């Protein structure tokens, strides 16, 4: 009987936690400039698409099966995306934006190397003729480019404000 009394209390508690979380994000969103909003959106979508998978087609006894395999570097990429979001949210100095720019630059290099030479990010047992990249790879690459360019523009505008003001 106690179990059924706890359910509404738990629902109300989680509702309050989520409401507080989204109010905090809304306040953070309102305080930021439009370029910083673009950076935040790009970083969040980048984190959501950071689990890079490749589709792999297996042909066996006149049957075709499609499997999705994670790449070797998913853990590293996800960790870099999480670090980038945390650093952006707590950015208190210009040097953190430089660190963000270097993280996004490293991710950009990894994406370029992975697209040009897929063996760089693949597991070893895949035949290079049978796999293809899923849409998440291209979404991730676009978000890396958008966030890199936005952070660079943000650094340029903040330097211009500092020299003119």
pLDDT, mean over the chain:
82
**Total of domains in the chain:** 1
- For residue 155, pLDDT over 80 is answered with yes
To the question of pTM greater than 0.75 for the whole model, the response is no
Q: Domain with 127 in it: what CATH number?
A: 1.20.140
Q: Which residues constitute the domain of residue 41?
A: 32-164
Has residue 16 been placed in a domain? no
| DSSP E strand stretches across 8-161 | 53-60, 63-70, 131-133
pLDDT tens for residues 125-153? 656 666 677 788 888 889 899 999 999 99
Q: Is there a domain that residue 158 lies in?
A: yes
pLDDT in tens, 30-58: 888 888 889 888 988 888 887 766 666 66
Contact (Cβ atoms closer than 8 angstroms) between residue 139 and residue 45: yes
Cα 91 to Cα 84: distance, rounded to the nearest angstrom: 10
């Amino acid at each position: 009987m106690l179990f059924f009394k706890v359910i509404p209390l738990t629902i109300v508690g989680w509702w309050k936690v989520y409401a507080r979380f989204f109010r905090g994000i809304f306040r953070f969103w309102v305080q930021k400039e439009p370029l910083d909003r673009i950076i935040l959106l790009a970083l969040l979508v980048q984190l959501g698409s950071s689990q890079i998978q490749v589709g792999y087609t297996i042909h066996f006894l006149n049957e075709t099966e499609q499997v999705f395999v994670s790449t070797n570097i998913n853990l590293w990429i996800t960790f870099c995306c999480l670090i980038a979001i945390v650093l952006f949210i707590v950015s208190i100095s210009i040097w953190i934006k430089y660190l963000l720019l270097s993280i996004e630059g490293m991710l950009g290099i990894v994406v370029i190397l992975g697209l040009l030479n897929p063996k760089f990010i693949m597991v070893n047992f895949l035949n290079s003729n049978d796999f293809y990249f899923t849409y998440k790879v291209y979404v991730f690459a676009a978000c890396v480019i958008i966030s890199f360019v936005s952070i660079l523009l943000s650094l340029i505008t903040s330097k211009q404000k500092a020299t003119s003001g």
